[in-house]
Structure 1
């Protein structure tokens, strides 16, 4: 294994931050603060930094909440711990992207693609109206929220959300998603 090879590849792809491993709420907070500090140092602009920060936190929280590869944390204040990947970087045009990936239950894949597909088809005004509608809605069957996360990310994105689901075995798939912000 050559870490230098990975280093060069990530530099070429504009990667600023790459994390692969166990994610808990405490890790979410730590990485989010690290990214906020990094973007201030790059003088990315307050608006860009806030959008990246919000998308990063939402994607990492989705990993914690919905990953099929999670377990109770061991240690003080860890809560649930899930395995996932998060990448923050810059596109060739200078825009920031936040991508995440994690295992999901295979039967959840179709619903995710459908929800994201609906958001991809909406314009700014439709996303705003849909957001207001979802805020008034009660939490879904899972009890984990009103489904605002994807809507909020779509509102902060400058391109439609992109996602991919790759079957891994009979019961799990790998979900990945990329959000490009200004």
Structure 2
């Protein structure tokens, strides 16, 4: 079980925490977070391929949060905060993020993650290619490739959890591990 809220509290002030943000998300803030992350990664990681991988996955995580943020327009203001962290360890980077989510979306999101996590690399590659070729987009104008892209780029299954907040909302936590 992963709990972004608790991990955020535990990681604050630690040397291996490269980036931590808690608050609302906007397009300009996303751009600033990505710029800050890029600068931090440039200071601590010499492997340019690994830097690009971490950065690309962070972009996917933030895009997924930002594009689903509109689902919270009628939610209480305290449910508008997101959390995102990049944590460096000796053999990996962890991108940990969390956001509030209407409960009505939890089952479908869980099913999508479980489905992608269960695929081997060849199945994932083929499904990804087919989805691109089909050009099928959701009502929000996206092809739903973000989760697949995170697993493809990291080579690892996603860790996730839903923490029930009240009868209408959960807090969704996700962790993407990128091994050196």
Which runs of structure 2 are paired with 1:171-182 in the superposition (5 Å)?
171-182=168-179
What is the Cα-based RMSD across aligned positions, in Å?
2.0
TM-score normalised to structure 2 length: 0.83
Residue 116 of structure 1 aligns with which residue?
Answer: 113
TM-score normalised to structure 1 length: 0.82
The total of aligned residue pairs comes to 164
Residue 27 of structure 1 aligns with which residue?
Answer: 29
Which runs of structure 2 are paired with 1:2-21 in the superposition (5 Å)?
10-11=13-14, 14-21=16-23
- Which of the pair is proportionally richer in helix? 2
**How far 1:102 sits from its partner (Å)?**
0.4
Distance in structure 2 (CA, Å) of the matches to 1:11 and 1:125: 38
Which runs of structure 2 are paired with 1:37-116 in the superposition (5 Å)?
37-67=39-69, 68-70=71-73, 83-91=81-89, 93-116=90-113
Unaligned runs of 5+ in 1: 1-5, 72-81
Distance in structure 1 (CA, Å) of the matches to 2:61 and 2:111: 18
> Conserved in 2, the CA contact under 8 Å of 1:70 and 1:83?
no
Distance in structure 2 (CA, Å) of the matches to 1:128 and 1:11: 37
Are 1:156 and 2:159 counterparts? no
* Residues 107-154 of structure 1: per-residue CA shift (max 9 Å, x gap): 1000111000011111111111111011123102x3330101111001
**How far 1:10 sits from its partner (Å)?**
4.8
Distance in structure 1 (CA, Å) of the matches to 2:175 and 2:129: 23
* Inter-CA distance 24–9: structure 2 relative to 1 (3 Å threshold): closer
